[in-house]
Amino acid sequence: MTMRPVCGLGPRLGLALALAATPAAAQHGIWLPVRCDLKPNHYLVNAGLLYLKSAAEGRFQEQIQKDLKDANRNLLQAVTANGQDQNPAAWYYLGRYYGMVKDAAGADSAFRRAEQLKPACKDDIAFWRRDLWVPLYNGAVAAYNAGQSDSAIHLLQQANAIYAGEPTGFKLLGALFYNANEADSAARYFRLAIAASSDPKYAADKKEALFNVAASYYRAQRWPEAEAAYKDYLAVVPSDAQALAGLAAVYTSLGRTDSATAIYTKIVNNADSVDAMGLFFAGTSIFSSAPPLPDTAATGTSCRTEARRTGRTLTARAISARCDSVTARRVRDYDGEVAVTYRLAAKAFEAGLAKNPFFRDGLFNLANTYLALHDSARMLPVAQRLYAVDPMNRSTLRLLAQGFQFQKKPDSTLHYLMVADTALPFEVTVGSFLPGDQNATLSGLFTNYRSLPDSATLVSRCRAPGPATTVAARCGYQKLAADAAAKLTNAPLKVTFEFLNAKGEVVVAQSVDVPAIEPGGNHPFQLKANGAKIEAWRYKQS
């Protein structure tokens, strides 16, 4: 049996959105003066300032470039040859120059020196740093949305080096490292996001980053750090079911099963105040906390060895009977122990489905939980509900067949097994579903799960009386393989996905054209649905 992860312990990150430009970037032809008490105090610095102002207000590119060049020449001459290396204005206006020519590294160096010499200008310098940060960040968002993670990471590292005044860039960088399975780096950037969230307007970002630090340590299996991080988050949001379940999972990994069980029981007992996704996630964590099946072979071997040593008069049959009963008792004890865990998981899934009855992974996981409990009465109805949502998935069909087998209905069992093995035109697998208040995204694969026979099998099917050369020519593998592939390639079809609210009402529907797919091939799909309160999906062949 399998359990489909729900929500996961992974980072919480909203859609990565581009940011609006700062007033400095948005206003053309306007020179914004310094907003702190900063005087040029030298004729070269003053000349540099005037050239920068002229460039900012210029209309013709040739003159603008000349003014920028003259500004740079005067300011560099001031700090390198005229004793102005301790003049904060010289460095400040050098930073402004580098900003105007989009040299983030140069601006960072000059602004850092200016702020060291004139701390009172910190806020003004932060304004200009952000002016450089926004286009770098937006470039990273564009790369991220295009699936170019390496480019996004490179741009974000540049962006965050020039400006660290808000958490957005650190959050996205942390998520990118998390998705790349670099959990330690992810935790470091999420912690930087926390540090950048001191302003109350970033309270939501801070909570998100606190959770993501814990998720990152969990992925890295750094259990003490994960425990501390979950507790830090729960001190701010004490009733978050996913965080509570995460902490319980950490306790399980640390061998503190009683503490884990107490948390899981608390979540289930307070299901009325927990949202559906929190309950689904808790159910997955509870199910996964069940101990593994004991090694009965080792138990039996140990029993037989001891019986031979102490009971020399025992026959082989007597030893076998004694030790078989020991292993059988061990299995019965195990079944009773894990049944308690599985029943608690089932309660969490049931409570979640009461709030969101059509959520596919909740139905899938509850059906698997009933399978683990050998609960024949409850499994089949849930498997049928799952089939109504996800009818072209082979795991769904096998669960449905198992439900009918529990009910001793062999004809239905065989029918759905045959559909899963041979009758589907292709398999539908949804890999990601991200619901939101105003939209949702769904992605996955259409897969032709059939495979070609090997060359020997193909040629053997073509054997016929006649000269060997004629048979070989007629039974060439390449031609046979092409013919077989043509027969096993699905015809183009259409699948319609319906996006549902918690009541099961269709918010919006979208159709996807599925092309012909060769055996063993697949075709990815990705949908974005706009609509309020989308909570679930289902599909059907059109």
Q: Which of 1-10, 104-113, 304-313 has the highest mean pLDDT?
A: 104-113
Distance CA 64, CA 56 (A): 8
Higher pLDDT, 470 or 210: 210
Is residue 441 within a helix (H) or strand (E), and if so which, with residue range? strand 439-447
- pLDDT score of 354 more than 70: yes
Q: What is the pLDDT of residue 281?
A: 87
Q: What is the pLDDT of residue 260?
A: 92
- Which residue has tokens 């593998």? 477
CB of 271 closer than 8 Å to CB of 255: no
State both tokens at 325. 């009963």
Distance CA 442, CA 431 (A): 8
Distance CA 173, CA 140 (A): 9
Q: What angle do CA 38, 39, 45 make, to 5 degrees?
A: 115
Task: Write the pLDDT tens digit of every residue in 246-294.
Answer: 999 999 999 998 999 999 999 999 999 998 988 998 899 899 888 776 6
Provide the percentage of residues in the chain whose pLDDT is more than 90: 66
Question: What one-character-per-residue DSSP string does 375-411 give?
Answer: -HHHHHHHHHHHHHH-TT-HHHHHHHHHHHHHTT-HH
The dihedral sign for the CA sequence 361, 367, 368, 369: positive
pTM above 0.85, yes or no: no
Which amino acid does the sequence have at 22?
T
Task: Write the pLDDT tens digit of every residue in 207-238.
Answer: 999 999 999 999 999 999 999 999 999 999 99
Q: State mean pLDDT over 78-84.
A: 93
The domains of the chain are located at 39-117, 169-288, 375-424, 426-448+489-542, 454-488
- pLDDT score of 3 more than 70: no
State both tokens at 460. 């053997």
- pLDDT score of 173 more than 80: yes
State both tokens at 492. 């183009």
- For 115, phi then psi, to 5°, come to -70, -35
Q: State mean pLDDT over 524-530.
A: 93
Distances 390 to 24, 448, 486 between C-alpha atoms, Å: 52, 17, 27
Distances 177 to 190, 221, 525 between C-alpha atoms, Å: 10, 16, 24
Q: What is the pLDDT of residue 488?
A: 80
Distances 435 to 338, 363, 406 between C-alpha atoms, Å: 33, 17, 34
315 has which bridge partners?
Answer: none
- Which residue has tokens 């996955």? 444
What band does 7 get if pLDDT is binned at 50, 70 and 90? very low
Instruction: Report the candidate in 503, 511, 509 with the shortest Cα–Cα distance to residue 535.
Output: 503
Q: Using DSSP bridges, classify how beta strands 427-435 and 493-500 pair: parallel, antiparallel or unpaired.
A: unpaired
Mean pLDDT lowest for which of 281-295, 389-403, 527-541?
Answer: 281-295
State both tokens at 147. 């699936």
Q: What is the pLDDT of residue 2?
A: 60
Distance CA 236, CA 518 (A): 52
Task: Write the pLDDT tens digit of every residue in 65-77.
Answer: 999 999 999 999 9
Fold matches, 39-117 and 426-448+489-542? no
Sheet holding 536-541, edge to edge: 506-514, 493-500, 536-541
Instruction: Report the candidate in 252, 256, 237 with the shortest Cα–Cα distance to residue 285.
Output: 252
- Which residue has tokens 């079911």? 241
Yes or no: domain 39-117 corresponds to CATH 1.25.40.10:
yes
Assign domain 169-288 to its CATH architecture.
Alpha Horseshoe (1.25)
What band does 25 get if pLDDT is binned at 50, 70 and 90? very low
What band does 315 get if pLDDT is binned at 50, 70 and 90? low
Q: b/e per residue, 131-163, with b = 16+ CB within 10 A?
A: bbbbbbbbbbbebbeeeebeebbebbebbbebb
- pLDDT score of 1 more than 60: no
- pLDDT score of 480 more than 80: no
Provide the percentage of residues in the chain whose pLDDT is more than 70: 82
What band does 314 get if pLDDT is binned at 50, 70 and 90? low
Instruction: Report the candidate in 498, 495, 487, 513 with the shortest Cα–Cα distance to residue 428.
Output: 495
Assign domain 426-448+489-542 to its CATH architecture.
Sandwich (2.60)
- For 497, phi then psi, to 5°, come to -100, 135
What's the mean pLDDT when you consider all of the chain? 87
Instruction: Report the candidate in 490, 482, 476 with the shortest Cα–Cα distance to residue 521.
Output: 490
